[in-house]
Chains A and B, each alone.
Chain A
Amino acid sequence: MQLRRFRTTTALAATAALLLTACGGVGDDGGDDQTFIFGVPNLPRSLDPIFANDGETFRVTRQVFDTLLDHESGGNEMVGGLAETWDVSDDGLTWTFNLRDGVEFHDGETLDAAAVCANFDRWMNLPEPFHNTTVAYYYNNLFGSFTDGESSTGNDFLVGCSADGLTVTIQLKETSANFPGAFSMATTAILSPGSLEQIDDGAFTGIDDGLPDYTQDVTGILAGTGPFQLDSWNHAQDELTLTRFDDYWGDPAGVSRIVFKAYDDETALKQALEASEIHGYDLVAPAHVAELEAAGFQVPTRGVFNILYLAFQQETDEQLADLEVRQALAAAVDRQNIVDSLLPEGGVVATQFMPDTVAGHSDNVTTYSYDPDAARPVLEGRTMEFCWPTNVSRPYMPSPRDIFESIKADLEAVGVTVQEKPMEWANYIPAAASGECPLYILGWTGDFNEGYNFLGTWFANHTDEFGMNRDDIFAVMQRAAREGDPDARAALLAEASEMIMDELPGLPISSSPPSIVFSAEVNPPNVSPLTQEKFDEVSFR
Chain B
Amino acid sequence: MNLPGTATKAAKIDRLAELSVSSSDVRGRSLWLEAFSRLRRSPMAIVGAVIVSAFVIVAVAAPLLAPHDPTAQLWRGDVFPNRSIFVGPRAENPLGLDHAGRDLLSRMLVGARQSLMVGVVATLIGLSVGALIGGVSGAAAGMGRRLGRAVDSVLMRFVDMLLSIPALLIAISVAALLGPSLTTLMIAVGAAQVPIFARLLRGSMLAQSRSDFVTASIALGVRRPKVVVSHVLPNSLGPVLVQGTLTLATAIIEAAALSYLGLGSPDISRPEWGGMLADAQRFLGSAPHMALFPAVAIIITALGFTLLGEAMREALDPKLKK
Contacts and interface: CB of A to CB of B under 8 A. Distances in A.
Q: Within the complex, are A and B direct neighbours (CB within 8 Å)?
A: yes
B230 interface: no
B267 interface: yes
A515 B179 CA distance: 30
A402 B290 CA distance: 15
A402 B83 contact: no
A289 B82 CA distance: 7
A345 B73 contact: no
Contacts of B99: 287, 402
Given A285-B282, A420-B267, A424-B180, A291 B84 contact: yes
B268 interface: yes
Interface string A246-282: 0000000000000000000011001000000000000
Contact of B283 (A266, A287, A341, A391): A287
Nearest to B99: A402
A401 interface: yes
Contact of A424 (B83, B84, B179): B179
Interface stretch (A76-84, A154-162, A404-412, A498-506): A404-412
Contact of A341 (B79, B176, B282): B79
Contacts of B83: 289-290, 341
Contacts of B269: 420
B73 A409 contact: yes
Chain B's interface: helix, strand, loop or mixed, by majority? loop
B268 A294 contact: no
A219 interface: no
A340 B180 contact: no
A462 interface: no
Nearest to A423: B179
Contacts of B285: 270, 288, 291
A129 interface: no
Contact of A408 (B85, B181, B268, B286): B268
Given A267-B281, A427-B179, A287 B100 contact: no
Contact of B100 (A286, A409, A420): A409
A270 B82 CA distance: 15
Contact of A287 (B84, B262, B266): B84
B80 A402 contact: no
Contacts of B82: 286-287, 289-290, 340-345
Interface residues of A, number: 32
A401 B176 contact: no
B76 interface: yes
B28 interface: no
A539 to B, nearest CB: 29
Contacts of B179: 422-424, 427
Contacts of B73: 405-406, 409
Contacts of A266: 282
Interface string A384-411: 0000001100000001011001101100
B61 interface: no
A341 B81 CA distance: 6
B266 A286 contact: no
A205 interface: no
A341 B286 CA distance: 15
A87 to B, nearest CB: 45
Interface in B58-93: 72-73, 76, 79-85
Contacts of A285: 282
A186 B100 CA distance: 39
A390 B180 contact: yes
Nearest to A406: B100
B317 interface: no
A402 B176 CA distance: 22
Contacts of A289: 82-84
B14 interface: no
B81 to A, nearest CB: 4
B262 to A, nearest CB: 3
Interface string B210-229: 00000000000000000000
Interface string B252-292: 00000000001000111100000000010111011000000
Contacts of B79: 341
A28 to B, nearest CB: 30
Contacts of B181: 422
Interface in A304-351: 337, 340-345
Nearest to A391: B262
Of B76, B79, B82, B84, most A-chain CB atoms within 10 Å = B82
A289 B181 CA distance: 30
A340 B80 contact: yes
Contacts of A402: 81, 99-100
A422 B282 contact: no
B74 to A, nearest CB: 10
B266 A390 contact: yes
Contacts of B76: 337, 341, 406, 409
Given A401-B266, A405-B100, A424 B176 contact: yes
Of A405, A424, A427, most B-chain CB atoms within 10 Å = A405
Contacts of A405: 73, 100, 268
A287 B281 contact: no
Interface in B127-142: none
Contact of A286 (B72, B81, B268): B81
Interface in B234-268: 262, 266-268
Interface string B173-190: 000100111000000000
Contacts of A424: 176, 179-180, 262
Contact of B282 (A267, A340, A408): A267
B80 A291 contact: no
Nearest to A347: B82
Interface of B: 72-73, 76, 79-85, 99-100, 176, 179-181, 262, 266-269, 279, 281-283, 285-286
Given A343-B82, A345-B82, A401-B279, 12 more contacts: A287-B82, A287-B283, A289-B82, A291-B84, A291-B285, A291-B286, A340-B80, A341-B80, A341-B82, A405-B73, A420-B267, A422-B180
9 contacts: A287-B81, A287-B99, A289-B84, A291-B285, A294-B84, A401-B279, A422-B181, A422-B267, A427-B179
Instruction: Sort A-B residue pairs by CB-CB distance and give the 4 closest, nearest first.
Output: A391-B262, A290-B84, A286-B82, A422-B266
